[in-house]
Amino acid sequence: MSVNAKRPVVLLGHMYHPEAEARLREAVPVEVLARPEPETIKAALRVACGAFVRYPNRLRAEALEGAAHLRIVSTSGRGTDAIDLAAATARGIPVVNNPAFGTVPVTEFTIGAMIAFAKNLLPLNALTHAGKGWAAQKDYRRFELRGRTLGIIGLGNIGTEVARCCTQAFRMRVLAYDPYVPAQKAAQAGAEWVSELARIWRESDFVSVHAELNDETRGMVGAAALAAMKPEAYLINTARGPIVSSAALAAALREKRIAGAALDVYEEEPLPADSPLAGLDNLILSPHTGGLTEEAMHRMALSAADQILQALRGERPPYLVNPQVWREPGRAA
């Protein structure tokens, strides 16, 4: 079935790869909103048949109010928190995401952060460049990952792959907390499934967050959780920023109540210049790029383009996040 090419697909920010935009343009008009402000988005969606939302741009409920012709909305990656999913569902608008493509890069980012901390690579690199490395050798702790305990919060695709790699490659002990998966899944990845989150804080040398952002996980890593961690432990968050309290983490790092942290995501993005996290020497910061390798961005962009076109042709796309609203061909454009 061909695509009705009268109405545009609106992109809230460029797609991750130009090949994906070119694929869309072969079938439909494409309008790119380089500066997607709320009023601009709302006006563009009044005539659009599809939309693509590149995080951290957001598609809010008010922008969907006049989107009478909108037949599909795609995320840029796996997460859907940039889209008001409840509002889209209430209006019968299918939403798709692009899962699994970030599994390898985020896993590698997580392991890279662990190695950087274990070998104290960042400070020793700076000191060696300054000609002070040899004199500082004894001042910086270095240890092996083998035999250390990793606590994983969230055992989805990424958490499972992190567990598998760390048990097999580094012979680490891995504890996994996820009340929504069976213990068997953890065992298959070489991890021990734990029923109490307190064990993660208490026993882990590294805690790595891979959970969804929802009402249960928002603010999960706050002052109490950080206080329960070992003083020589490290926190890594590559999931969603609001899971970790920036203020609580900054205080714990400043006061050396934990050894360090690595963040790829933040409560507010981009990270404000006056954030309490800025300038801490025991904190590794990355601008939400952990899953954005060139390979992953190419695959995610093509997945988004293909699913938009499938939906516009009346074909059911594979990664519907609100499948209850999907209707078979016959709806007007």
What's the CATH code of the domain at 161? 3.40.50.720
3 occurs within a structural domain: no
Under the banding of pLDDT at 50, 70 and 90, the label for residue 333 is: very low
Pair 64, 161 in one domain: no
Residue 35's pLDDT is what?
A: 87
Nearest to 96 by CA among 88, 105, 108: 88
Structural domain boundaries enclosing 236: 103-285
Cis peptide before 182 (omega within 30 of 0): no
**CA atoms 277, 278, 281, 284: torsion sign:** positive
Under the banding of pLDDT at 50, 70 and 90, the label for residue 236 is: very high
30 occurs within a structural domain: yes
Pair 312, 193 in one domain: no
Under the banding of pLDDT at 50, 70 and 90, the label for residue 332 is: very low
Pair 51, 132 in one domain: no
274 occurs within a structural domain: yes
Two tokens, residue 229: 């961690």
Under the banding of pLDDT at 50, 70 and 90, the label for residue 330 is: low
Under the banding of pLDDT at 50, 70 and 90, the label for residue 234 is: very high
Under the banding of pLDDT at 50, 70 and 90, the label for residue 329 is: low
Cis peptide before 272 (omega within 30 of 0): no
> How are beta strands 149-153 and 173-177 bridged, if at all?
parallel
332 occurs within a structural domain: no
Residues whose CB falls within 8 Å of the CB of residue 263, separated by 6 or more in sequence, listed in order: 236, 237, 241, 244, 249, 277, 283, 284, 285, 286
Two tokens, residue 295: 């390979």
Q: How many helices (H) and strands (E) does the chain have?
A: 12, 12
Pair 145, 230 in one domain: yes
Cis peptide before 270 (omega within 30 of 0): yes
Cα 324 to Cα 65: distance, rounded to the nearest angstrom: 20
pLDDT tens per residue across span 176-222: 999 999 999 999 999 999 999 999 999 999 999 999 999 999 999 99
Two tokens, residue 148: 């250390």
Cα 74 to Cα 59: distance, rounded to the nearest angstrom: 11
Pair 115, 257 in one domain: yes
- In the predicted model, what is the mean pLDDT of residues 152-160? 97
196 occurs within a structural domain: yes
> So which residues are the catalytic ones?
240, 269, 288
- In the predicted model, what is the mean pLDDT of residues 221-250? 98
Pair 280, 136 in one domain: yes
pLDDT tens per residue across span 286-321: 999 999 999 999 999 999 999 999 999 999 999 999
- In the predicted model, what is the mean pLDDT of residues 156-169? 97
Under the banding of pLDDT at 50, 70 and 90, the label for residue 4 is: low
245 occurs within a structural domain: yes
4 occurs within a structural domain: no
What is the percent of the chain with per-residue pLDDT over 70, rounded to a whole number? 97
Pair 145, 204 in one domain: yes
Give the amino acid at 263. L
Cα 273 to Cα 278: distance, rounded to the nearest angstrom: 7
331 occurs within a structural domain: no
Burial of 86 (0-12, 13-18, 19+ CB in 10 A): exposed
Pair 146, 226 in one domain: yes
Average pLDDT of the chain, as a whole number = 95
Pair 221, 111 in one domain: yes
- How many domains, in total, are found in the chain? 2
Are 74 and 50 within 8 A, CB to CB? yes
Pair 217, 114 in one domain: yes
Residue 56's pLDDT is what?
A: 85
Cα 66 to Cα 46: distance, rounded to the nearest angstrom: 5
- In the predicted model, what is the mean pLDDT of residues 97-109? 96
Q: Which helix (H) or strand (E) holds 116?
A: helix 103-119
Cα 103 to Cα 189: distance, rounded to the nearest angstrom: 14
Cα 39 to Cα 37: distance, rounded to the nearest angstrom: 6
Lowest-confidence pick of 3-17, 157-171, 243-257: 3-17
Q: What is the CA radius of gyration of the chain?
A: 22
Centroid of chain to Cα 316:
25
Question: pTM here?
Answer: 0.90
Residue 40's pLDDT is what?
A: 96
Pair 160, 278 in one domain: yes
Nearest to 23 by CA among 48, 46, 52: 52
Residue 5's pLDDT is what?
A: 66
Q: With left for phi above 0 and alpha for psi between -120 and 50, is residue 3 left, alpha or beta?
A: beta
pLDDT tens per residue across span 33-86: 988 999 999 999 999 999 999 988 999 999 999 999 999 999 999 989 899 999
Cα 25 to Cα 58: distance, rounded to the nearest angstrom: 23
Residue 2's pLDDT is what?
A: 62
Pair 164, 266 in one domain: yes
